[in-house]
Structure 1
């Protein structure tokens, strides 16, 4: 079976392509821009995730014989368009914010330049990746901030689509999660993997002690034992009896985890297991994590809330045509207006390093550009040239550090979990 991603496009994109090839407008030079008009409700910043995956997908975006046969069978496009698609490779230019950068309403996140034909067919591919990964990364970043330096593990694979699970693990790691339970994410992206036993493992054995003895024999005393299958107090007692005071960690997966964590800490200390960590899981989100900040919790395992964007499963990005043959074009529909012309942005900072505003400006002959202050920074970087990824782009680890630094630059109110305005305002620079 073909591994092409070409049919990860939308019917209407190919309909536009077919019509434009027929009327001769398909080869006009165009600029498309990815941006969001607003942040999801309650969010004060966005996190740009999925850039590396988008570049991979565009490089692999070709129409094989299986895809062309599908289009022909259902008469999606004409024969002449099928022939054009047979030789399709994106040959244009892409600039954008680097992965791990923060964004706000109106930020020109990705600029795609090429002919109308080669750029229009990328819309669904680009948006499906960026909207998903950016939503997960933003939710994960809020959780990491709430965890306040404590370990946090992604474990949501069983709560989403199998490929989304891998992408979500990557986005979570970008945002600062310590590890994932998803082994394919570890293989594909080099993310640290970790895991422990589920309740089924305890129930399999004739006793809780037998289950603990089996796990310790296989994984050593540094393992994490799940202690709440039956009675948590007895579970902790057995865990320490089996593994000794050097037991790595206990996991609590149900109940009032704050109260249980305090009781567990007291019991572990009384048993001499003063270095045994306490990990909690079970329907956690950023609010639950923040509520546990004062409790003796050493780590969190997050699943459902993470992989569903914690209430915001999309970053609400759009892919809009903003320039044709160097001429700005803009949508004027009520509540869905766009600003014409290719754009870039700079972020202004105080001397202390705190971000104060994002300035978006048009890149056009004769247009003025904002003057950079001593601490200001341009945001867009080259990503693809002539259809090829730019050499030496930062990898996942570097982008992870970029986001970590960017979050430190936000005003303190920008990290609040309560509803409010975007952390920094977007200003549109005019000539």
Structure 2
């Protein structure tokens, strides 16, 4: 087995027996080496993941990835080949290499539930572990959350404006082969109906869907022969790609082939041209031909804005690829991983004390908090961060759920359960936050901040 086996295990969030810990940055190890030598590596600490801001015109973000991350952290380890490579670099101490050989993540972690929404300052993930352990997992934590949250956030907006029409994730050819599987998972979480990616279907039980490429049509003598071959193989319910040449001619040939087989196509797909013009024309041609039951699916670099432009047209489904897997222009969620509390001395019961940055433009809050969301009359009105030992406000629900306990996967929900949960919490969003030109109606704010530094 090699690094690709590790990567596929990373996608699954399951034990893979290969060194996923090496999917990290050099400075995680150089910091740990120095921390072991200075003695601070064993101090208790608390780290948080949050976004300082949302992309322009976004009112909320969607949490995706903790369910994958829990398995990855539980299985975080360095294999013999990894250690040989690190030793060969000649820059690490023997003490560090011995430490890595025995390393297992043994901390606790809490996260927002997958499918929940977040705003600026939301502590999406909290890690309680020794300084050395918390430093070591930073890159993996941010890799998973920044990618998955970015895709889910864009996909939720697309799902909103699709208004119940069928959505197929089909971005596998527009991103890294492994990121494509995680993207399909994130899209399914927020309501997409299917994916074209078979590995995502296999790993996560997501329904799969697809049509045909222009090359399939070009491989036959003519369009009609191609359509007939496709329908003979897959039935009349298959979707015909009708714009290889002339749109109307392609449609007529698809209808003729379907008629010989005793019916009409289940759907036709348009992948080019001005869809605001072509969709009504195709609908009229279908209806005139008695194919009222044939659905229209469109694709072609769709994002939430183009989907919204098509909302009043007779579109039955959307195939979304490029813009989905790149977060519709924002391929990272902008999450950062920061220390908020560190013990002054080593020791199991040594209390942690607030720590924070004062860097211009990058200042952070110190102190351990628990997040709550206040909901009144079915709508979220605020997000409150409460000091660790204080009760939450009335009319609120706690946002953190267990992710790991003493290094063991403790995430309590399935992807299917989180998919249902997401629709409920999205309905709690104020309409101003769901608009395509929205902005956060509130940010995460601390209660009792004076004692947190």
Shorter chain as denominator, the TM-score bin is over 0.9
Question: How many residues are matched?
Answer: 423
TM-score (norm 1): 0.96
| Residues 184-241 of structure 1, C-alpha deviations (whole Å, 9 max, x = no match) | 1111111111101010000110110110011011000000000111111111111112
Which residue of structure 2 lines up, in the alignment, with residue 246 of structure 1?
264
The match for 1:401 is 420
Q: How does 1:360-375 map to 2 (within 5 A)?
A: 360-364=385-389, 368-373=390-395
Residues 60, 439 of structure 2: 8 Å contact kept? no
Aligned to 1:282: 300
| Residue matched to 1:146 | 161
In the TM superposition, what are the counterparts of 1:81-96 in structure 2 within 5 Å? 81-96=96-111
Say if 1:14 and 1:76, in contact at 8 Å, map to a contact too. Answer: no
TM-superposed CA distance for 1:430, in Å, is: 1.4
Cα pair 1:355 1:424 within 8 Å, conserved: no
How far off is 1:427 after superposition? 2.4
Contact 1:369 1:429 in 2 (8 A): no
User: Which one of 24, 48, 53 corresponds to residue 68 of structure 2?
Assistant: 53
Which residue matches 1:340? 366
After superposition, the C-alpha distances for 1:14-68 in whole angstroms (9 at most, x for unaligned) are: 1110001111111001111111111122211010011111112112210001111
Using the TM superposition, give the Cα deviation of residue 357 of structure 1 relative to its aligned residue in structure 2, in angstroms. 0.8
Residue 42 (structure 1) aligned with residue 57 (structure 2): yes
RMSD after superposition: 1.2
CA–CA distance in structure 1, aligned partners of residues 283 and 400 of structure 2: 48
Instruction: Check the 8 A contact 1:356/1:425 in 2, yes or no.
Output: no
Which ranges of structure 1 fall in alignment gaps of 5 or more residues? none
Distance of aligned partners of 1:102 and 1:76 in 2 relative to their CA distance in 1, 3 Å threshold: farther
Q: TM-score, normalised by structure 2?
A: 0.91
SS of equivalent to 2:49: strand
| Preserved contact between residue 64 and residue 145 of structure 2 (Cα < 8 Å) | yes
Partner of 1:356: 381
SS at match of 1:334: coil
Task: Confirm or deny that 1:416 pairs with 2:435.
Answer: yes
Q: Which runs of 4+ in 1 moved over 4 A?
A: none
Q: Counterpart of 2:353?
A: 327
Could you tell me which runs of 5 or more consecutive residues in structure 2 were left unpaired when the two chains were aligned: 3-17, 344-351
Q: CA deviation at 1:423?
A: 3.6
Which of 291, 299, 304 is the equivalent residue of 1:273?
291
Aligned: 1:299 with 2:317: yes
For 1:65 and 1:176, the matched residues in 2 are separated by 41
